[in-house]
Structure 1
Amino acid sequence: MTIPLHSKFRISLIAVLIGIAYYFSGHHASTLVMSSEYLTSFYLLLITLTLFLWTTFHFNSKKINTTLFITLLTCSSTANSQEHLIFGSAEEVTLSLQFFVIALSVPIILLSVFIFKYRTTKIKLDECSERFKGSFLDAPIGMALVAPDLNIIEANPSLHKMLGYSVNELTGVNFKNITHEDDLQKCQSYQNKLLSGEMDSYQFEKRYLDKQGRIIWGLLNVSLVRHNASPFYSIAQIQNITERKQANELLTFQASHDSLTGLVNRREFERRTKRLLSSIQQEPDKQHALCFMDLDQFKIVNDACGHTAGDEMLRQISSILLRVIRYRDTVARLGGDEFGVLMEYCSIDDAHRVATSLQKAIQDYNFSWEGHTFKMGVSIGLVPIIETIPSFNELLKEADAACYMAKDKGRNRIHVYHANDSEIAKRHGEIQWVERLYQALDEDRFCLYAQTIVSLSNDKDMHYELLLRMIDEKGEMILPDAFLPAAERYNLISRIDLWVIEKTFRLLQDNPDFLENVNFLSINLSGPTLTNSNILDFIIEELDSSGISADKLCFEITETAAISNLNNAMKFISILKDLGCRFALDDFGSGLSSFAYLKNLSVDYLKIDGVFVKDIVDDLIDHAMVKSINEIGQTMEMKTIAEFVENDVIKGMLKEIGVDYVQGYGIGKPQPFKDLL
């Protein structure tokens, strides 16, 4: 600490006066000629000035200094006027005065040192207090001085602002009154340990309530100040971490919820189901269930109104599902238009009632978009969760199989899974085909067959339809009816279509003589392929790079695939027809709206469904249907091709009706394509 200049002066002056007093006390007899009375007065005045300077050094109050000076002066005068004051000889007086000066100087010096240290310490404490007060008031985080009973002694402006209070409004408020009820017990537990001496400080994240009752997250750090070993007050520092907690909560929510609907996502659904499967081992008597839901004809909404409308519909349906399920059930969006509901502590009968309520709620729902109104159905697969189910994947596979059976039986219905269900067993058989199909594609274990298409008016035309066969692990030939349903169900059909297209281009390039003599080859395309822009681009690139004439290729699409993907089918057909490719509409007559949609599809050939052709000789209705289809085709300048022609009688009757081409076992059986090359 730096001593002020005026204090240094006073210290020096005191020392000088004491020195003068001591000097004169030893030399006055020989050097000064004055009476003993005057000498006494001189010393008393000197001592008075010394004491006055000493007091003014330690006390800054002018009033105190003036009072002391008058008091000291009065005492000095009184002492000087005492008649009984008797001086002895000069030596005795000298010794007495020297002793008196020394005796007076020692306590003055000792007291000066003590008070100097006291004042130094006090100044430091005052400086620390000022710094703490400045830090307390100006701190960017909330701070409070808190009594042992959690009443707020003083709170800084940052804490008031954080909790939405005016300055000093928190003084006297108990911290319990601004703490979230779920954190009260934890907060009190920490405080008790702090007061009992089990800990010197504590820190944890807790929730506060601001003046409006909103939750404010704070990182609380509390340290205790003791006085005489007893709790005096505590210092609480509170950092506002609300934004961080909200960001973390948002990240956690996004990781476990679907971004479109806000429902639990597949990952979180799987986690909760696995937890439930684990609990079954400890509670084998408890019943649970899972249902798998797939919206019927949802694709129509996307095709008619676009994906924005489809997304909005999914959001609205999600809200409906949340209103119907029980409070402890979990509803999740598993992907696309598929949903799952996990029903805990629910018998299969109760689960069926919940599923029925879900189905009815969706049935009663009308979706409107820009003047269009749609009604939805839902196919539901329901499966009990029992102890013998080995895994989540197996459980979901059973639920998915049951849902598939609900769709297969006419859609918009509920199918309950049973382990001995023969229909489910068939479904499982399809699932097993998936792995075999992947292996066959990877190992190139497919081959092409060809079946001739004969003209009933011109024998010179050479037409063939390319047919697919799969070679199994033992080298046996497998017909497409065995594996195509699984390929279509599990989205492998487009990959298989691409294999056929690639193989056809390679074979035609490698066999130019065959290419020159054949009129065209028909290649079957599935519905998903019509929506695959990559396959369309591939065909265009191959036509350009291979040099193969586009009119050598005819793409067959089924009536059902064309109608369910009408816009995409029209675009696909239009682009390739402009390049010279031909198109045939396969299995015509099997759909419900064949004639209504036919005028929208610019195809070259109508292939009359074989179900009408095979009994044409004996069934008048089939005969009428074939005749009607043929007439419509000719009216629209399309050539007709009859399938399933198994004998000459059928062939002759078709020729009478005016059908252009025939195909079937009575015309020619399928044969390996390589045998024709």
Structure 2
Amino acid sequence: MRLSQWREKYNRYINKSSIKQKFSFVTFGTFSILLLLNCAFMEIKDLANIRTATIEGLEAVATNISFRSGSALNLDDRAVVEENLRVSKGLDYIDQICIYDTNGNVYSRLAKRASALVFCPVYSDVNQSVLGWFKVKISAPIQFENKTVGLVFIEADLGHLYWGQLNVLYCLLGILAGASVFTYLLSLYLNKNIILPIGRLVQTLKKISIDKNYELRAQKSNNDEVGLLIDTFNNMLATVDRQNKALVEARNRYLLLFDDNPSMIFNIDEEGGIISVNKFGARQLSQTANRLHGFSLFDFVHPDDRNEMRHILNMCAAELDKVHKLELRLICVDKKVIWVRGAIRSTRQTNGKVNILLVCEDITETRKLNEKISHQARHDELTGLLNRSEFDRQIQQALLSAHNNRTEYALCYLDLDQFKVVNDTCGHIAGDELLRQLGALLKKQIRQDDLLARLGGDEFGILMRGCLLSQAYNACEKIRNAVQNFQFAWEDRLFRVGVSIGIASINSISGNSIESLKEADAACYAAKEKGRNRVHVFRPNDQELASRQGEMQWVEKIQQGIINNRFCLYGQPIVPIDGREEGLHFETLIRYQDAEGHIIPPGAFLTAAERYNLASELDKWVISTLFEWMAKRPGFIENLAMCSVNLSGLSLSDETMLDFISEQFNKWRIPTHCICFEITETAAIASLSNATHFIRTLKQQGCFFSLDDFGSGLSSFAYLKNLPVDYLKIDGLFVKDIVDDKVDLAMVRSINEVGHVMDKKTIAEFVENDEILDILKQLGVDYAQGYGIGKPVPLAQL
């Protein structure tokens, strides 16, 4: 049937209809058309809203899973990853969720619907999201510590959501058909009971559209089709409201992660303009997030760091998606300066613009702590001056400058005089306070470019730049006078101290820092040797300093010799002058064997050992080595009458020496009556109480003692009554000339007589010929020792 025929038939029907029928037809037709159009518009709009809300929900789910799975995927914790997938349990329109690792392999999968029988697509097909009307595919990178460790992929089917909405439309159409019949028959009644409720429904719909308040509901008047329509409409609103609240909750969770993340997150453009910033970042800058919009990041970057920031932004623009590290200072609104460390990355948006993401953290406290640790590592804790290690580093820099630029430096070594008096009388607290005050005093005496350091104990160092030795000498005299005139008050007492200063030059021909310090230290020691509280300049041809340096070189040799057994033991016989047989009696002597095998006598190193407190360790080596040799020599101890072992004055004051000797006796089972310890007269007199205690303790165990070099101490006889020794060794300086010198003869005679009166046996040293031996025999001396009796030989040759 043609359109013209339909139009003619319609006109004929209208012409025949009554006014009531026309009104009912017009009312019904108009209402039907409006209701149909309204339903169609609302359905299309709801379908669009549902699609948009569902896609946003899927993106939020993908972001949530990505955020929560970063650490677990990085740690290969599959259980946690699968637990994170279950957050989407309530979204039944999701077909499947796939987690990929960095290699593109499927790490975990969750199928949400029974109909989702497909498997996860290959990694290369899921890098981008696909937002169709029915099929939606969402992908999001999984990151951990600004590094991509995987990918989350979500596939969803929105068809059943649309069909749910179409069912509503079908209901509306059914109601429309029923309403048409009743409208046509009961137009007046229907006008009242249908048009009015629909009008109210339309008003509710308008209000919802304007206010976006999905909690509003249409008012139901009757339980007819209109009432059913309103119920359906209200149910639809409830569904939309639930979905909307779920989306809002997901959005709030995202904003919570974004705004309250304890990192400063900036979204900026290529010029540094702030597009957005999270609340935490705004608070760090003492500002609100909204007020920062429109500002440039350069408004907050420290002026000294702006060039670096521009350079980084240029690199971001040139290298998209590459992460760049940065560390700089930001100036807050309240002028407070904070240090931040972060990462910055740029991406290109779909509109072609470059978007830059900057994530950073406040490291101000860490920087302050590092600076404090660095300062403490370079400075002395007590005085605040440079410490020894930093001073060594500065000396090395000075040597480098002297060699390259021919700059001359003066290195000064300062050692306080009489500092021990303050420490011993008032305690270490007073000593520390004195060092602090002297450190401040010394700092005032030097130039601004000079370096002052505390080298340890009561020793200080000064490095003077561009300073000749003559200038350094005058400056050090000024420092010495300042220290000498300084008075230290502690409680009700006043103290004065002095300072001995050694100066060495650092120039283009200087060696290393150790040699330079040794030269200054040797000059300082020379100043002390000359009477303290004076300045001494190191000269290469200074014989006194050369001797001092020779001793210093022996320090390392002695230490290494003890460790590597470079020392060896010799023995020199001691024989009774009256010719009686007593068995083997000898004195143990020490020698040093160098790398070429040469034997070096003790006179070369014993002075250095005494001066640098190594004599006690050397004595321990002799005792342990001697006892071991004797214990491992079958029949030796049975033929031994007496073995003499020398002990230094330092060993008498060593608190560990007595226990060490007892341990060696027990370890090697050496008879104590076979050992005679020799101590010099000067060492015994210097520490009479320690010597007496030491001798008495070992004599109680059965050992013997001999007083070596007797007669050299001038006041020997006054102390002899208090020293319970068994032998007196008459100083060889008296013995060697007794044939020709009557004074020496008288000295030997008196020493021998006093010794015998005190029931002590006498031993004469330096017996070099038979004439001396005959005189000693006439005097009644008990034993003789010397080259005329027997030269020192290795122990094995005794």
TM-score (norm 1): 0.62
Q: Retained in 2: the 8 A contact 1:451–1:466? A: no
Cα deviations by residue, 1:127-154 (Å, 9 ceiling, x for unpaired):
9975664344322234567899989998
1:417 aligns with 2:538: yes
Distance 1:139 1:440 in 2: 64
Q: 1 CA distance for matches of 2:534 and 2:416? A: 11
Shift in Å at residue 502 of structure 1? Answer: 3.4
Among 437, 455, 473, the alignment partner of 1:352 is 473
Distance in 2 separating the partners of 1:430 and 1:244:
48
- 1:34–1:147 CA distance, 2 compared to 1 (3 A): same
Asked if 1:43 corresponds to 2:29, the answer is: yes
Give the aligned residue type for 1:420.
Answer: N
Tell me the alpha carbon deviations over residues 400-446 of structure 1, each in whole angstroms, 9 at most, x when there is no partner: 43334334434443322222333333344445556766787646563
- Residue in structure 1 matching 2:411, options 281, 290, 297: 290
Answer whether contact 2:586 2:644 (CA < 8 A) is retained: yes
2:539 partner letter: H
What pairs with 1:7-26 in structure 2 (closer than 5 Å)?
A: none
Please point out which of 406, 426, 429 is paired with 2:527.
406
> What letter corresponds to residue 506 of structure 2 in structure 1?
I
The correspondence of residues 100-119 of structure 1 with structure 2, limited to 5 A, is none
- The within-5 A match list for 1:120-519 is 133-143=255-265, 158-159=280-281, 183-187=302-306, 190-191=309-310, 194=313, 198=317, 203-208=325-330, 216-221=338-343, 237-249=359-371, 252-253=374-375, 256=378, 264-284=386-406, 286-294=407-415, 321-322=442-443, 324-334=445-455, 338-360=459-481, 363=484, 377-431=498-552, 433=554, 442=564, 446-450=568-572, 452=574, 465-470=587-592, 478-489=600-611, 492-506=614-628, 510=633, 518=641
User: Which residue matches 2:703?
Assistant: 581
Q: 1:124 to 1:330 in 2, by over 3 A?
A: farther
Answer whether contact 2:403 2:509 (CA < 8 A) is retained. Answer: no
Q: What amino acid is aligned across from residue 422 of structure 1 in structure 2? A: Q
Question: Secondary structure, in 3 states, of the residue corresponding to 1:343?
Answer: strand
Unaligned ranges ≥5, structure 1: 1-22, 71-121
Shift of the 596–670 alpha-carbon distance from structure 1 to 2, 3 Å rule, reads same
**Any conservation in 1 of the 2:566–2:592 contact (CA below 8 Å)?**
no
Name the CA distance, whole Å, in 2 between partners of 1:27 and 1:205: 83
Distance in 2, matches of 1:597 and 1:369, equals 38
**Count of matched residue positions in the alignment of Structure 1 and Structure 2:** 594
Name the CA distance, whole Å, in 2 between partners of 1:297 and 1:318. Answer: 16
Residue 140 of structure 1: SS of its match in structure 2? coil
Partner residue in 2 for 1:79: none
Q: Give the SS at the match of 2:508.
A: coil
Residue matched to 1:524: 646
Contact 1:303 1:567 in 2 (8 A): no
Structure 2 distance, partners of 1:217, 1:388, is 45
Identity within the alignment, %: 38
User: Taking structure 1 as reference, are residues 209 and 550 closer, same or farther at Cα in structure 2, changes over 3 Å only?
Assistant: farther
* Deviation readout 1:548-583 (Å, 9 max, x if unpaired): 443443333446656877887676556434423344
Match of 2:665 in 1: 543
Q: Quote the Cα distance in structure 1 between the aligned partners of 2:300 and 2:753.
A: 84
The DSSP-based 3-state class of the residue aligned with 1:239 is: strand
Distance in 1, matches of 2:461 and 2:257, equals 56
Amino acid across the alignment from 1:380: I
CA shift digits 1:165-203 (9 cap, x unpaired): 697899799978976xxx422136525874998568965
Provide closer, same or farther for how the CA distance between residues 597 and 296 of structure 1 changes in structure 2, counting only shifts above 3 A: farther
Equivalent residues of 2:571, 2:586 under 8 A apart: no
**For residues 268 and 474 of structure 1, do their structure 2 counterparts lie closer, same or farther at Cα, with a shift above 3 Å needed?**
closer
Q: Could you say what secondary structure the match of 1:426 adopts?
A: helix
Identify if the C-alpha distance between structure 1 residues 421 and 159 changes in structure 2 by more than 3 Å, giving closer, same or farther: same
Q: Which residue identity is paired with 2:304?
A: Q
Q: Which residue is 2:163 aligned to?
A: none
Deviations 1:10-69 (A, max 9, x none): xxxxxxxxxxxxx99998977995569534454344444455557777699x99964999
2:675 to 553, 563, 568: 553
The farther-off stretch of 271-280 and 312-321 is 312-321
Counterpart-to-counterpart distance in 2, 1:49 and 1:223 = 53
Whether the aligned pair in 2 keeps the contact of 1:447 and 1:471 (CA below 8 Å) is no
Aligned counterparts of 1:634 and 1:370: Cα–Cα separation in 2: 55
> Which amino acid in structure 2 is aligned with residue 43 of structure 1?
G
Q: Secondary structure at the match of 1:401?
A: helix
SS in 2 for 1:341: strand
Secondary structure, aligned partner of 2:303: helix
Q: 1:543, CA displacement in angstroms? A: 1.9
Partner of 1:95: none
Q: Which has the higher contact order (CA 8 A, sep 6+)?
A: 1
Over aligned residues, Cα RMSD in angstroms? 6.5
What CA distance in whole angstroms lies between the structure 2 residues aligned with 1:279 and 1:472? 37
Q: Distance in 2 between matches of 1:601 and 1:149?
A: 93
Aligned equivalents of 1:552, 1:148: Cα separation in 2: 93
Alpha-carbon separation, structure 2, partners of 1:615 and 1:26: 167
Give SS of 2:605's match.
Answer: helix
Q: Distance in 2 between matches of 1:372 and 1:653?
A: 61
Of stretches 271-280 and 571-580 in structure 1, the one that deviates more from structure 2 is: 571-580
User: Is the deviation greater in 641-650 or in 241-250?
Assistant: 641-650
Provide the C-alpha distance between the structure 1 equivalents of 2:311 and 2:556, rounded to a whole number of angstroms.
64
Instruction: Structure 2: give runs of 5+ residues left out of the alignment.
Output: 1-5, 50-198, 208-243
- Aligned partners of 1:449 and 1:469 also within 8 Å: no
Number of the residue aligned with 2:182: none
Structure 2 Cα separation of the partners of residues 659 and 316 of structure 1: 64
Is 1:143–1:159's contact at 8 Å kept on the other side of the alignment?
yes
1:388 is displaced (CA, Å) by 1.5
Distance in 2 (CA, whole Å) between partners of 1:280 and 1:482 is: 35
The answer on whether the counterparts of 1:451 and 1:467 sit within 8 Å (CA) in structure 2 is no
Name the residue aligned to 1:10.
none
Contact 2:501 2:527 in 1 (8 A): yes
Q: Normalised by the size of structure 2, how large is the TM-score? A: 0.54
Would you say the 8 A contact 1:589–1:629 is kept in 2? no
Give the Cα–Cα distance (whole angstroms) in 2 for the partners of residues 603 and 26 of structure 1: 155
Give secondary structure in 1 for the equivalent of 2:646.
Answer: strand
| Cα distance in 1, alignment partners of residues 625 and 440 from structure 2 | 48
SS at match of 2:467: coil
- Kindly state the Cα deviation for residue 387 of structure 1 after the two structures are TM-superposed: 0.9
